[in-house]
Structure 1
Amino acid sequence: MKFLIFIGGLVLSQASLAVSALPVSQIAPGIYFHQSAHHWPDQHNHGEIANLGFIVGDKCVAVIDSGGSPQQGIALRNAVKQATDKPICYVINTHVHPDHIYGNLAFKQPGVQFIGHYKLARAMASRGNHYLGRAAELLDIHVNQDNIIPPDLQVKDQMRVNLGNRELLLTAHASAHTDNDLSIYDKTTNTLWLADLLFLEHIPVIDGSIKGWIAELEKLEKNHYQLVIPGHGKPVQNWPAAMQAQKTYLTSLRNEIRNMLKQGKTLEQAVDQAGLNAKGDWQLYDEFHRKNVTIAYAELEWED
């Protein structure tokens, strides 16, 4: 006989409650981090491919991204419970991609507020049916509209949240990786959680604006941070040196495509020819590079 337990509107089976805590490391005082491997999302990894974590204050906890599956969300929630007795007060979704939001339902309970970029709700609404329709086939997970939870609090420019003697500064960025990227800065440790605005080893994935992404990186590289946490890859202390490979890839690709457009080359030619010299520099190049070229070409084609 299966027993069901209701927590904040979420139905959990005993099997769900028995999910092991997600492995996390405390990489700075009060900052807990789970690093995922660089994989194409599929039925073997269930879309659990993004870095996740949480920040603990004196009063409560902010979860940063919830995972690529409902089960990973439960595992992350269990990791929070293992690390602290402080309640979760915020779930911060850094952008719309499924590997960052499919665990949201595990945290939907009284006292928890979801935070996101002011364009996140619109992105969830426009992409939700497409994401949900492919989840079972591609990722072997079962999700529905309940798993896509729009933000209760929307960040238009910047927002400060206090976890109890620990203030986080949330920044809504211009279109870059997506058009709904959010970063989190922890003043206490001088840590910037950049999520998918920063890719290390894994090829950067453009789903917003190549020009906007370069512009955001140029702003960020002027600042000093003790620790920077990417959406894919290891946390780094050598900022801004750590982001130069990504910046080089994006700027080189932009420049190549601009030259091809001046020469009258077609999209098909650009997809076949642009960025070939970067192939050996990045994991998952074959899976994402051609799409990057397609998106960048479409944007740059309309430059004045």
Structure 2
Amino acid sequence: MKKLPKSAVVLSTSLLLSLGFNAGADSKPVHQDLLDKHKPEKISEHVYVIQGPTGYPNKENQGFMNNPGFIVTDKEVAVIDPGSSAAIGRAVLAHIRKVTDKPITQVFTTHVHGDHWLGNQAFKEENPDVKFFAHPTMIEEATNGAAAEWISTMDTMTEKATAGTEAIIPTEVLVNAQEIKVGDLTLKAHIIEGKVHSATDVMYEVVGEKVLFTGDNINNKRIVRMDDGSFVGSIKAAEHALTLDVDKVVPGHGPTGSKNTLTYYRDYLSKVYSSVKEMRNEMEAHEMKPKIAEKLADYKDWQGLDEELGKHISLSVLEAEQEDF
């Protein structure tokens, strides 16, 4: 029997993966719903985004809740935040392979929270030489236990739907304003000193494409946890982003938007924090909530507002107290 050329075998494997095919018990799982219902959107000449759902990780969504992105250049492909599991990462990879067969050489992480980067595994499987970039503190925290904690958290929240995921921790350390070449394009890393959404955040500007990936520094139609972050730092990050020459903003969660997305999320953070500073000497945190909620009528339909607002007020009280010292 005549043997198929090696390239044909690779193409066939890639095609099967792109179709979500699982051949036997030993095959690697692929997130089928992501393949079927969440198609990449081309938001500029070279940039694509797969918009995820905005709910919390659960058994039904199998942990998929962020906005993976990829950039197709003349010679290679870069990926930003490939999601929270190996199966999600493989589905993102399958979508990329429907667009291009160029090598995926670089993967960028916006911050340490595992719903954004545990999909790294799929890209290491395809290309052992791929480079993974992140904030130095992200690498440190992930290495010192955060990676294992996030794998456990995702397994618990999804009732083992993310089982089998291995943490591929980035090794390439970024600094503020660093420019990284990806083929004929450039990514610029924007790092705000101190805490923002966490102490590990990087925003990525696709120079020339006027696209900014913000990670969870900015969100749209989604209120996120701020347990690891700073309201003052997050407002500062939004103000910095507003100075950039961008017109498409890819938030950590929620739909891609215009530059107004930056203003809208900054205003949410500002209203919460300034209100707390005004009220904290007159009432307790739980008494503030209904009054602050009245000021946030524009955000009443945002996913997570009911769950997070009380915690945001309490965290703002603590941060305001720390500002006094």
Matched, 1:253 2:272: yes
| Cα distance change of structure 1 residues 274 and 185 upon mapping to structure 2, 3 Å threshold | same
Matched, 1:104 2:120: yes
* Residue number among 286, 290, 294 corresponding to 2:306 in the alignment: 286
Per mean C-alpha deviation after superposition, the further-off stretch among 50-59 and 276-285 is 276-285
- 1:256-287 deviation per Cα after TM superposition (whole angstroms, max 9, x unaligned): 21123333x444545x4463222625222112
Report the TM-score, using the length of structure 2 for normalisation: 0.81
Report deviation, 1:150.
2.1
* Residue number among 69, 78, 99 corresponding to 1:53 in the alignment: 69
**Aligned 1:168-207 pairs, distance under 5 A:** 168-174=187-193, 175-206=195-226, 207=228
Report deviation, 1:26.
1.7
Q: Secondary structure at the match of 1:181?
A: coil
Gap runs ≥5 in structure 1? 1-11
**Aligned 1:144-155 pairs, distance under 5 A:** 147-155=166-174
In the alignment, which residue of structure 1 is the partner of 2:253? 232
In the alignment, which residue of structure 2 is the partner of 1:302? 322
Gap runs ≥5 in structure 2? 1-20
Return the alpha-carbon distance in structure 2 between the equivalents of residues 16 and 132 of structure 1. 17
The count of aligned residue pairs is: 288
Report deviation, 1:292.
1.8
Matched, 1:90 2:106: yes
Contact map agreement 1:183 1:192 (CA 8 A) in 2: yes
Q: Secondary structure at the match of 2:173?
A: strand
Matched, 1:33 2:49: yes
Amino acid at match of 1:245: Y
Per mean C-alpha deviation after superposition, the further-off stretch among 117-126 and 39-48 is 117-126
* Residue number among 28, 33, 42 corresponding to 1:16 in the alignment: 28
Per mean C-alpha deviation after superposition, the further-off stretch among 130-139 and 181-190 is 130-139
In the alignment, which residue of structure 1 is the partner of 2:237? 216
| Cα distance change of structure 1 residues 84 and 222 upon mapping to structure 2, 3 Å threshold | same
**Aligned 1:52-91 pairs, distance under 5 A:** 52-91=68-107
Contact map agreement 1:155 1:171 (CA 8 A) in 2: no
- 1:186-210 deviation per Cα after TM superposition (whole angstroms, max 9, x unaligned): 1231211212222111124323100
Contact map agreement 2:177 2:189 (CA 8 A) in 1: yes
Return the alpha-carbon distance in structure 1 between the equivalents of residues 119 and 44 of structure 2. 24
Report the TM-score, using the length of structure 1 for normalisation: 0.86
Q: Secondary structure at the match of 1:169?
A: strand
Amino acid at match of 2:47: I
Report deviation, 1:143.
4.3
Runs of 4+ in 1 over 6 A off after TM superposition: none
Amino acid at match of 2:230: S
Return the alpha-carbon distance in structure 2 between the equivalents of residues 194 and 203 of structure 1. 14
Report deviation, 1:297.
2.0
In the alignment, which residue of structure 2 is the partner of 1:120? 138
- 1:36-91 deviation per Cα after TM superposition (whole angstroms, max 9, x unaligned): 12212211112100011100111211110111222110011112222112101111
* Residue number among 130, 134, 141 corresponding to 2:149 in the alignment: 130
Per mean C-alpha deviation after superposition, the further-off stretch among 53-62 and 223-232 is 223-232
Return the alpha-carbon distance in structure 2 between the equivalents of residues 196 and 163 of structure 1. 23
* Residue number among 276, 286, 297 corresponding to 2:293 in the alignment: 276
Q: Secondary structure at the match of 2:252?
A: strand
Return the alpha-carbon distance in structure 2 between the equivalents of residues 245 and 204 of structure 1. 14
Report deviation, 1:19.
6.1
* Residue number among 154, 157, 174 corresponding to 2:176 in the alignment: 157
- Cα RMSD between the aligned structures? 2.3
Q: Secondary structure at the match of 2:48?
A: strand
- 1:234-262 deviation per Cα after TM superposition (whole angstroms, max 9, x unaligned): 2223x2x2322212211111112112333
Q: Secondary structure at the match of 2:178?
A: strand
Return the alpha-carbon distance in structure 2 between the equivalents of residues 43 and 295 of structure 1. 29
Q: Secondary structure at the match of 2:323?
A: coil
Q: Secondary structure at the match of 2:69?
A: strand
Contact map agreement 2:43 2:49 (CA 8 A) in 1: yes
